[in-house]
Amino acid sequence: MKKLREIAKELLEKKEVDLIIGYEKGTEDFWMRPCFVDNIVDIEKLTFNAFCNINLSKYILEHKDKKVAVILKGCDSKSIVVFLQEKQINKENVKIIGVPCCGIFDEDLIDKTVDYNSHPADNIKFVRERCLVCENHNPVIYDILVDDKIQEKIYKENIYEEIEKIEKKSQKEKFEFFKNVFSRCIRCLACRNICPVCFCKECLIDKQNPLWVEKKITLSDILMLHLIRAVHMGGRCIDCGGCEEFCPAKIPLRKIYKKMEKDVREMFGYVPGRNIDIPPFHSTFLKEDKDEYLKGEKGGENF
């Protein structure tokens, strides 16, 4: 990681940025935590390896008054595209240090044989599920690249395989599956707090007037909370995997948000987080949008 530290040092010395947001080693070898560097001495803490799972882009929103540099992998850089589409940041104050990434290890899947500095592409069985369907190993937007770009290769043949498995179930089986899964939710809202595109100052889930989500622990209130998140994520979720990874009850949230991504892609040809120049999905329409999805004619039984 010498090159990363050289780039960081140069940015701080030339005063192009006031703060660098990166990763540093945590209390264990497989825990990497965010690190905020504003002087040359602390640059030695910055590092990057296959355990850097957190998406750092959300921290930019807390430092809008400063010039910031942030270290982003391929998947994380897509959240910057969403920020720029929705006019949340000023690009002149943000420098993106892009890191081409071929996978991140999952803390729950590794065993004693793992080599902490090994290449994820050689150890696919330890790589987290989200990385197996990654379509952007290289950052889609960056100012400086730490390494050469790597070849784009999707590890799984069908990126929507898990979603299609659920779609094929009968209506009763689907309901039972989601009822079991959501009954574990403790409403900690970690999924909302880690999500980069969830940045409303006043969230509907907390709002008292009108009251959308009540205080009971019944299925209807828990489902309302998750439906609010799902409806607001439609066409905006960039699949960084944070919600599922940090859920204390291990709820498979990506199965819902990936389904929204699949639908928006199939029905309207829109993929979030790729292109700054096109407007966000919900703010436009086409007169040629089809009615058949609305009437349920397309797709038949298995949606």
List residues near another protein by CB under 8 A: 166-167, 171-179, 204, 212, 218-221, 223-224, 227-228, 230-231, 234-235, 256, 259-260, 263-264, 267-268, 281-282, 285-287, 289, 291, 293-296, 299, 303
CA 29 and chain centroid, separation: 23
- Closest to another protein by CB, 113 vs 171, is 171
Q: Least distance (Å) from another protein to the CB of residue 256? A: 8
Amino acid at 157: E
Rounded distance, CA 20 to CA 15, Å?
Answer: 11
Q: Least distance (Å) from another protein to the CB of residue 271? A: 14
- Closest to another protein by CB, 38 vs 214, is 214
Give the tokens for residue 134: 């990654």
- Closest to another protein by CB, 74 vs 235, is 235
| Alpha helices, DSSP H, located in 187-291 | 190-194, 219-233, 242-245, 254-268
* Residue tagged 């150890």 (tokens): 123
The percent of the chain in helix, strand and coil, each rounded to the nearest 5, is 40, 10, 50
- Closest to another protein by CB, 38 vs 289, is 289
Rounded distance, CA 179 to CA 276, Å?
Answer: 38
Q: Least distance (Å) from another protein to the CB of residue 196? A: 21
- Closest to another protein by CB, 130 vs 258, is 258
Task: State the virtual CA torsion across 245, 26, 61, 251 in degrees, nearest 10.
Answer: 10
Q: Least distance (Å) from another protein to the CB of residue 219? A: 6
Amino acid at 108: D
User: Which of helix, strand or coil describes residue 139?
Assistant: coil
Rounded distance, CA 104 to CA 106, Å?
Answer: 7
Q: Least distance (Å) from another protein to the CB of residue 275? A: 18
Q: Least distance (Å) from another protein to the CB of residue 36? A: 36
- Closest to another protein by CB, 158 vs 218, is 218
